[in-house]
Structure 1
Amino acid sequence: MDRTMNDIWGMILAAGSGTRLAEAAGGERKQYIEYKGAPLFWHCARTFSRVAGVRGLVFVFPPDDAPGMEKRLRQFFKTEDLGVRWTVVPGGERRQDSVRNGLTGLPKECGRVLIHDSARPFVSARLITDLVAALDAEARGVIPAVPVTDTIKTVAGNTVTGTLDRAELAAVQTPQGFEIALLREAHDRALDEGWEVTDDASMVERLAEVTVIPGEAGNVKITVPEDLKRLRETRTPVSCTGWGYDVHRFGGAADRPMVLGGVPIPGGPSVVAHSDGDVLLHALADAILGTFGGGDIGTHFPDSDPNFDNADSGVLVREVLAMAERADTRIVHADLTVVTQIPRLAPHAAQIAKNVARLLGLEAHQVNVKATTEEKLGFTGEKRGIKAVACVTGLREM
């Protein structure tokens, strides 16, 4: 693949008729069913937008609905800007036709795509991130799958004809990620040779190796009327607060260049640290851990471990965010303060806040960054070091 075409887009498939659910859903197509105040396809879009590598989204709707849904999406993005580019494409008669149409909506610089069924509204940002990582590691196609736990038999009429080895079986989910060129080739072959498939991997695996990564048990598909109960099952979100504090002393020319919130600070004093010395992100990581009782970063990333020598603190923050997600905790706000006599941080505060918001997958108004001095008192006032405090608010499903 030409790595100059490295952009990744998501494709949200919302073009199905939903006939199996129509009566139970009051005639509403399942992609439009409301869950927690928003249709299922919008929940998928929100999750995709929280993954840093995703540049844009293609929404595929039924042809008759596409013009109206484009107007509706404009309003959605006006009310809740997800921070990604987007477009709407009319779908086709079959799922594979809708994907083929959706490919026409991708920009020329897009080299990879993640195709997702809007009927899977519970997909996590972690799973999408894992798919992106597999593509970054040179996979040409990648799918998530979970082990099959039931015994599977082949049946003809009312008679069992065989029993399959479930150790060799897996239930496949979406999103599914592919190189654009490979996926287009597969769709061209499918059209020319009359292939009928139920997912894109079924095409691509005839042309190239498809990598499998672990899926998620919670990434279920809303398919039959009984599945609607999942949308009615509610868990109470409980507010939780975490507090973090970190200190680094200033060093000499051989120590780490100053970085705050992932932003290099030109002309700032160097810091003595085992990792990259980002005192603000270290405090933030501790505060995130505090929202769900996850301990501290010294436990998870000890300075005695050579693997964390000069480690990127942004990676550590993403790791503790993944821990929070596994603990059913969603971070919704961060208030951060840097305490130092030098350097002057006002020129950098906006960029630091923007970068922290990106790391956390939050809107700008959900992250606040402040800088202050201690009036020349203490070790910061004497210009011997820097410290940061972080207060993070999360919502934990109970």
Structure 2
Amino acid sequence: MSTWCILLAAGSGTRLQAATAGRPKQFLELDGRPLYWRSALTLRTLPELAGLVFVAPAAHLPAMEEEIRRLWVQDALNLPWRIVAGGARRQDSVRHGLHALPDTCARVLIHDSARPFASAALVRRLLEAMDRGAAAVIPAIAVTDTVKEVEQHTVLRTLDRSRLRAVQTPQAFALPLLRQAHARAEAEGWEATDDASLVEALGEAVVIVPGEETNMKITTPQDLELLRQQTSPLLSLLPVSGWGYDVHKYAEPHEPKARPMKLGGVPIPKAPCVLAHSDGDVLLHALVDALAALVCAGDIGTRFPDTDPAFENMPSAIFVHELLQDVWGAGILLTHVDLTIIAQVPKVGPYREAIRKHVAQLLKLEPGQVNVKATTEEGLGFTGEKKGIKAVAMVSALRPAAGLAPDAALE
């Protein structure tokens, strides 16, 4: 499902204006960038994200658009984006953002730019809950203080804090449901401080996932100290690469464990069968080794041994998916993949584009980030004698600098 995020940066921040000389808090700087940009940098690491909608104060719209264009090139976000003017209330700003979403969008994240420390791991928990069927998901943390209901400086009652949760953003919704909630709110005059409240007013279930204590909202002058204490791992990404290699023997179709050839998940008709425990996709096996190298996880034999009956004839795409969870969990951002197939037979050319697109889809990359090439060994050696096939994979990526905690550490 296509997922977009509406990043709210249209508030006035009145409680902070005295401490910021009247400057809206979303434009305060962190690591040399405006505060709202920290969230954009975090969100870019999510392969599920299809685009961003920025909601800006109407008076600052042209200046903020110009700033985003500069930052977009500088930090290479490589995502579609749009910008709209906010409204008088937070829910008006969200509604304006909803109108800007493309027709292809199926689910939406709503996030306050005043919460710059939300992690990618937190967002992934929201999306995983939606994958399991939830239509509205919010992060929440337990309330540790005793909370009392008061009226005119007098306590009415003490609330049971075991039933209370402090709610954060981002919040995730099926887009049709959230649009319905905002339409009802506008028509019937509902007011709410978060989008989940509007969905609740429809009588729909809202699911919670664990939030993060570090996902604090910059609200008061005292909170500004957080900006001086925090560093941004996403602005300190270092290049890393992983290299993988695999080889498979050719087999007669009647031999035990002879598998029809697949390359990058694409069936290759009339090609020799390969001898393998799993489905024998030599290209994806090399890719798994390269992904494992990014997180120092050994190789495919370490993770998926060919002595384990559970992996017999298993699609290699499952192996790729498993290693991707480790890569994403470590806060690593894939940037480019270069794949080489080495074989005398079959001819790979007719299938090259299909392989490239399928691998890109598996890795949640654009096709332009995946290169596939093939070569022979001029009749020499193992492949030249048509006894088998080899593959090499090189994966380029960016990881948080040493000493800076990846998102996985916050789970």
Partners of 1:25 and 1:363 in 2: CA distance: 41
- Give the superposition deviation at 1:377: 3.2
Q: CA offsets, 1:219-263, max 9 Å, x none?
A: 444442122135447797665554322223334568555443445
Instruction: Name the stretch that deviates more: 182-191 or 361-370.
Output: 361-370
Kept in 1: contact 2:55–2:86 (CA 8 A): yes
Change (3 A) 1:183 1:76: same
Change (3 A) 1:118 1:236: closer
Indicate which of 156, 178, 194 corresponds to 1:199: 194
Q: CA offsets, 1:327-378, max 9 Å, x none?
A: 4544455444332222333555566556555655667786554433333333
Query: 1:91 aligned to 2:95?
Result: no
Q: What is the Cα-based RMSD across aligned positions, in Å?
A: 3.8
Trace 1:161-172 onto structure 2 (pairs within 5 A).
Answer: 161-162=157-158, 164-166=160-162, 168-172=163-167
Change (3 A) 1:377 1:301: same
Partner of 2:6: 11
> What TM-score, normalized by structure 2, do the two folds share?
0.77
Query: 1:243 aligned to 2:243?
Result: yes
Partners of 1:148 and 1:289 in 2: CA distance: 36
- Give the superposition deviation at 1:304: 5.3
Q: CA offsets, 1:156-196, max 9 Å, x none?
A: 44969525333x34343333222223212222333344433
Kept in 2: contact 1:240–1:396 (CA 8 A): no
Partner of 2:320: 317
| Alignment: residue pair count | 391
Trace 1:1-398 onto structure 2 (pairs within 5 A).
Answer: 7-22=2-17, 27-77=22-72, 82-145=77-140, 147-148=141-142, 150-154=144-148, 156=150, 157=153, 161-162=157-158, 164-166=160-162, 168-206=163-201, 207-216=203-212, 219-223=215-219, 224-232=223-231, 240-251=240-251, 256-265=259-268, 268-303=271-306, 308=311, 311-332=314-335, 334-346=337-349, 348-349=351-352, 352=355, 356=359, 359-360=362-363, 369-393=372-396, 394-397=398-401, 398=403
Change (3 A) 1:22 1:271: farther
Partners of 1:35 and 1:385 in 2: CA distance: 54
Kept in 2: contact 1:116–1:176 (CA 8 A): yes
Kept in 2: contact 1:151–1:163 (CA 8 A): no
**Letter of the aligned partner of 1:317 in structure 2?**
V
Partner secondary structure for residue 341 of structure 2: strand
- Give the superposition deviation at 1:139: 2.0
Q: CA offsets, 1:266-324, max 9 Å, x none?
A: 55444444444332333233233223332333343444556655555444334323323
- Give the superposition deviation at 1:62: 1.2
Kept in 2: contact 1:59–1:87 (CA 8 A): yes
Change (3 A) 1:41 1:282: farther
Partners of 1:130 and 1:285 in 2: CA distance: 24
> What TM-score, normalized by structure 1, do the two folds share?
0.79
Partners of 2:239 and 2:80 in 1: CA distance: 32
Which stretches in structure 2 are left out of the alignment for 5+ residues? 404-411
Q: CA offsets, 1:43-69, max 9 Å, x none?
A: 434544554444333221112222443
Partners of 1:181 and 1:221 in 2: CA distance: 28
**Letter of the aligned partner of 1:247 in structure 2?**
V
Kept in 1: contact 2:143–2:166 (CA 8 A): no
Partners of 1:240 and 1:356 in 2: CA distance: 20
